[in-house]
């Protein structure tokens, strides 16, 4: 916090701040929870125990954006505002909001105890929105039938089906009844699971606090499993593209990107639960190198590999000579619309905002009196410089 003379107040030890603010095994570098907005913003350039948490998700916004816009410069790609790119833009919105909400939550949470709760409620909400944004991209770009055009009820693409068993053309799905789930319940399931995750994570800030990190980590495992079903299907079955086509070659790296995406998620979960390395040396990693900073780095690397995976599939679709854009010729895979992409995200965001408002009101009832008491006991000192 800055005094009137421009000098920052000293950072505090864990014994000098409210218990609600204390993080496991982090002993120093705390800001007292009565900073102004200006003080919070300036603290991004001070070595506090939140500085690294801010920068490890703020800088990735620009890295992600750089790799994201490459798609629109590809040969054969439609204009950036074409319906074909609606799912990709929803994915971008989900990632952008996740990274910005996370970085701002770590930067602004010292304004008060109530603001701290609201910041992390918003953080959890954007994580859930990101998972649905990913699901929309998976649905339209990693769909099991992507690139396959139906003609007269039979597969009319150039996929090599000579060696397929008799009767295999009656259904494009190698796993029976998968089409029912994927084409009817996949997106609704992703939305329902996302809402459950928001409710559970917000609740973990008011209950089950002893095991909150474990709960949050495993709660977000569920949307990963649901949203990744198209990728699991693609890995377990044959590619929809001919082995001699450029689309097949373009999508060949999908598996490696997905495995790396999973690896980084696993490593991030280990850091989030174990609290390594600060658990081994409390106080040594208070400012730089503690587990939450590594958690941020690993989650971003997983997102970056996911982006490369989605771009790989987008390129494969663009290279498919049987696919017209927008893909209205796919009888079982209609092209993206505003309602099926932005509309889904809008309804989800409205629901999530309602949940955040409810939990924020409850947090104000709990921590409002404590916030007011802290303001009385620790008024901001006004000093004059001579």
Cite the annotated binding site for Zn(2+) by residue number: 106, 292, 296
Per the CB < 8 A criterion, the answer to whether 20 and 116 are in contact is yes
Cα-only R_g, the chain: 24
Distances (CA, A) of 63 to 67, 81, 87: 7, 22, 20
The two three-digit tokens of residue 60, written as one number: 């990735």
Q: How far is CA 78 from CA 72, 133, 138, 253, in A?
A: 7, 20, 19, 23
Q: What letter does residue 287 receive in the DSSP assignment?
A: S
Residue ranges at the known binding site: 106, 292, 296
For residues 18 and 374, is the Cβ–Cβ distance under 8 A? yes
Q: Which of 273, 314, 329 is CA-nearest to residue 89?
A: 314
Bridge partner residues of 151 (DSSP) = 154
Among the listed residues 33, 47, 45, 58, the one whose alpha carbon sits nearest the alpha carbon of residue 108: 33
**First and final C-alpha spacing in the chain:** 20
Q: Which helix (H) or strand (E) covers residue 155, if one does?
A: strand 154-155
Asked whether the beta carbons of 57 and 296 are under 8 A apart, the reply is: yes
**Alpha helices by DSSP H, 228-324:** 229-236, 246-250, 254-274, 291-319
Give the C-alpha distances (Å, rounded to integers) separating 57 from 95, 130, 235.
Answer: 11, 14, 30
Output the CA torsion sign for 277, 279, 283, 287.
positive
For residues 37 and 111, is the Cβ–Cβ distance under 8 A? yes
What CA–CA distance (Å, rounded) separates 240 from 160?
Answer: 9
Give the span between the Cα atoms of 277 and 155, in whole angstroms. Answer: 54
């Amino acid at each position: 916090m800055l005094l009137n003379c421009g000098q920052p107040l000293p950072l505090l030890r864990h014994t000098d701040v409210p218990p609600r603010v204390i993080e496991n095994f982090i002993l120093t570098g705390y800001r007292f929870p009565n900073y102004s907005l200006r003080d919070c913003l300036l603290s991004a350039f001070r070595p506090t125990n939140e500085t690294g948490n801010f920068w490890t998700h703020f800088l990735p916004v620009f890295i992600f954006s750089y790799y994201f816009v490459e798609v629109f410069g590809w040969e054969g790609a439609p204009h950036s505002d074409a319906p074909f790119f609606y799912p990709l833009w929803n994915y971008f919105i989900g990632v952008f909001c996740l990274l910005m909400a996370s970085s701002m939550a770590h930067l602004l949470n010292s304004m008060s105890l109530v603001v701290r709760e609201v910041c992390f409620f918003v953080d959890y909400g954007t994580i859930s929105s990101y998972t649905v944004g990913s699901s929309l991209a998976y649905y339209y770009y990693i769909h099991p039938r992507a690139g396959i055009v139906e003609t007269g009820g039979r597969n009319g693409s150039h996929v090599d089906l000579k060696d397929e068993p008799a009767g295999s053309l009656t259904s494009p799905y190698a796993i029976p009844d998968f089409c029912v789930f994927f084409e009817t319940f996949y997106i609704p399931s992703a939305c329902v699971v996302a809402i459950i995750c928001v409710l559970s994570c917000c609740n973990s800030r008011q209950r089950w606090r002893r095991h909150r990190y474990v709960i949050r980590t495993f709660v977000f495992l569920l949307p990963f499993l649901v949203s990744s079903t198209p990728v699991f299907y693609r890995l377990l079955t044959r590619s929809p593209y001919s082995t001699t086509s450029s689309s097949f070659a373009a999508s060949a790296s999908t598996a490696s990107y997905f495995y790396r995406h999973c690896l980084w998620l696993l490593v991030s979960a280990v850091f989030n639960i174990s609290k390594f390395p600060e658990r081994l040396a409390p106080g040594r990693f208070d400012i730089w190198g503690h587990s939450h900073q590594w958690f941020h780095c690993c989650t971003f690397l997983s997102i970056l590999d996911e982006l490369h995976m989605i771009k790989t599939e987008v390129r494969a679709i663009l290279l498919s000579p049987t696919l017209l854009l927008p893909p209205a010729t796919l009888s079982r895979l209609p092209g993206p619309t505003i309602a099926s992409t932005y509309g889904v995200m809008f309804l989800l965001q409205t629901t999530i905002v309602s949940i955040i408002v409810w939990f924020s009101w409850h947090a104000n009832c709990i921590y409002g009196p404590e916030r007011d008491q802290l303001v009385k006991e620790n008024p901001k000192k006004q000093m004059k410089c001579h």
